[in-house]
């Protein structure tokens, strides 16, 4: 008759006991059972060397580790041994993030998704704020004030709206406008400028980074004449 | 198992019964001590524990069963040994010590067994990846509860995995095939 374990419930612990992976409580429980069970005693005796090698031999460990790595593939992280604090943190984070349960049960993932959605909105709002009206510096040029010196502390920090009058300008007609520095460097040029209002005033917007202190000359020519004739010229000075 | 009859005989002073109990406990105690302390001192500690059991059991009223009481005696002996001044540095057995406690004296026999075991293990883990996975966690130092959580099985199913793997190994070692 084949021998059997006298208490199968405690006897089931044998296989884990052999590998030394039982808790203290279960170890005691099994050992007490083992003292009264011939079957378990024989089982332990018959496999003791093999169990010792299985649980502690480095070559066997390596074989099992390599196999498990190949087997689990992406789950190779499990094979990295008793984890360090950063590893544990990453694993925990992964556990909270990986959607193996419905997303509503993953608050960390939900927060990250919300943040990911909010970020573009934040930058959109920020950008739209940047596009709102910014303070500008006005320079008005009229025939009566054709040579002016503008001295403002923020003249080089703000964009400049240059307003100029062209007497006899017809709405819809095109003129050639050049703004250049005293040494001939062109700051602005429009060969088909036609944006004059009914008061014969044209306006151009000049970015602050283009306008440095110094003298400037605005030349308006009529392209229809041959050769093009200068019909209005203004000069102004931006003080340091 | 130590029967009530054997115990009562020994209590009455039957030397044969007493000797039988001694031998029974000694064989088992030796195995347990080997696991916890190592091979060098296992016989001494097991013998000491058996002597204590034989000395005291006559006057003992067992509320928890003879085996549980004897186990307690043995644990005390092991505890005393580990806390002894000369053994403080050997409170835990390292892998190497643990292994050396189990392998036979013959280096060749050990190597032979290891070679066979590795061959069998290579065959088995392909057929039984669950066993390989469980073993891998064992090697990483996890306890039963943690392994069960990680491989998502109940403890009973985990023991079944270990049992199957073990019996495959035993078959392979005996017959050379799974």
ipTM of this complex > 0.90? no
Q: Is B42 on the interface with A (CB under 8 A)?
A: no
pTM of the full structure: 0.55
Q: What is the mean pLDDT of chain B?
A: 80
Q: What is the mean pLDDT of chain A?
A: 80
Which helix (H) or strand (E) covers residue A15, if one does?
helix A14-18
pLDDT at B90 over 60: no
Residues of B in contact with A51 (CB under 8 A): 102
Give the ranges where chain B is alpha helix by DSSP (H). 4-11, 15-36, 39-56, 66-83, 95-102, 107-127, 129-139, 144-151, 155-175
Give me the pLDDT at residue A179, please: 92
Instruction: Identify which of B39, A7, A41, A38 has the alpha carbon closest to the alpha carbon of residue A17.
Output: A41
pLDDT at A74 over 50: no
Question: What confidence tens digit (pLDDT) does each residue in A35-54 have?
Answer: 888 888 888 888 888 888 88
d(CA B121, CA B131): 10
pLDDT at B152 over 70: yes
Taking the C-alpha atoms of A162, A168, A174 and A177 in order, what is their torsion angle to the nearest 10 degrees?
-40
The owner of tokens 């075991």 is B117
Name residues 11-70 of chain A within 8 A of B (Cβ).
12-13, 15-16, 18-23, 26, 28, 31-38, 41, 44-61, 63-65, 67-68
Model confidence at A78, pLDDT cuts 50, 70, 90, reads very low
* Edge-to-edge strand ranges of the sheet holding A201-206: A136-141, A159-165, A201-206
Give me the pLDDT at residue A79, please: 46
Residues of B in contact with A64 (CB under 8 A): 121, 125, 132, 135-136, 139
Provide the shortest C-alpha distance from residue A97 to chain B (in Å): 17
pLDDT at A177 over 60: yes
- Greater confidence (A20 vs A77) lies with A20
Give me the pLDDT at residue A118, please: 93
Question: What confidence tens digit (pLDDT) does each residue in B31-52 have?
Answer: 888 888 877 778 888 888 888 8
């Amino acid at each position: 008759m084949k021998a059997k374990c006298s208490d199968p419930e405690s006897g089931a612990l044998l296989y884990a006991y052999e590998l030394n992976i039982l808790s203290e409580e279960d170890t005691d429980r099994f050992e007490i059972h083992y003292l009264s069970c011939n079957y378990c005693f024989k089982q332990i005796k018959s496999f003791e060397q093999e169990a010792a090698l299985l649980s502690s031999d480095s070559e066997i460990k390596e074989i099992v580790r390599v196999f498990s790595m190949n087997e689990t593939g992406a789950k190779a992280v499990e094979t990295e041994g008793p984890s360090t604090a950063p590893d544990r943190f990453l694993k925990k984070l992964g556990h909270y993030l990986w959607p193996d349960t419905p997303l509503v049960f993953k608050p960390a993932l939900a927060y990250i998704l919300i943040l990911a959605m909010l970020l573009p909105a934040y930058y959109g709002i920020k950008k739209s704020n940047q596009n709102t009206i910014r303070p500008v510096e006005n320079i008005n040029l009229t025939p009566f004030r054709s040579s002016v010196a503008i001295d403002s502390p923020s003249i080089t920090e703000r964009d400049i709206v240059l307003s100029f009058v062209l007497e006899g300008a017809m709405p819809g007609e095109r003129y050639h406008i050049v703004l250049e520095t005293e040494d001939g460097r062109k700051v602005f040029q429009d060969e088909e400028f036609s944006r004059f209002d009914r008061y014969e005033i044209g306006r151009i917007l000049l970015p602050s980074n283009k306008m440095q202190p110094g003298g400037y000359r605005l030349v308006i020519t009529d392209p229809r004449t041959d050769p093009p004739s200068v019909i209005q010229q203004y000069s102004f000075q931006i003080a340091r | 198992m130590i029967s009530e009859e054997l115990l009562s005989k020994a209590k009455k002073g039957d030397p044969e019964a007493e000797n039988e109990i001694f031998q029974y406990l000694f064989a088992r105690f030796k195995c347990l001590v080997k696991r916890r302390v190592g091979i060098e001192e296992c016989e001494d500690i097991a013998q000491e524990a058996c002597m204590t059991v034989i000395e005291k059991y006559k006057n003992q009223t067992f509320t928890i069963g003879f085996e549980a009481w004897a186990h307690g005696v043995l644990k005390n002996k092991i505890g005393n040994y580990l806390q002894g001044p000369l053994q403080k540095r050997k409170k835990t057995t390292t892998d190497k010590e643990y292994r050396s406690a189990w392998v036979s004296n013959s280096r060749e026999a050990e190597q032979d067994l290891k070679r066979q075991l590795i061959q069998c293990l290579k065959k088995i883990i392909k057929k039984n990846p669950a066993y390989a996975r469980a073993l891998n966690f064992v090697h990483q130092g996890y306890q039963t509860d943690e392994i069960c959580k990680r491989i998502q099985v109940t403890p009973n199913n985990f023991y079944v995995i270990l049992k199957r793997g073990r019996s495959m190994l035993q078959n392979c070692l005996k017959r050379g095939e799974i």
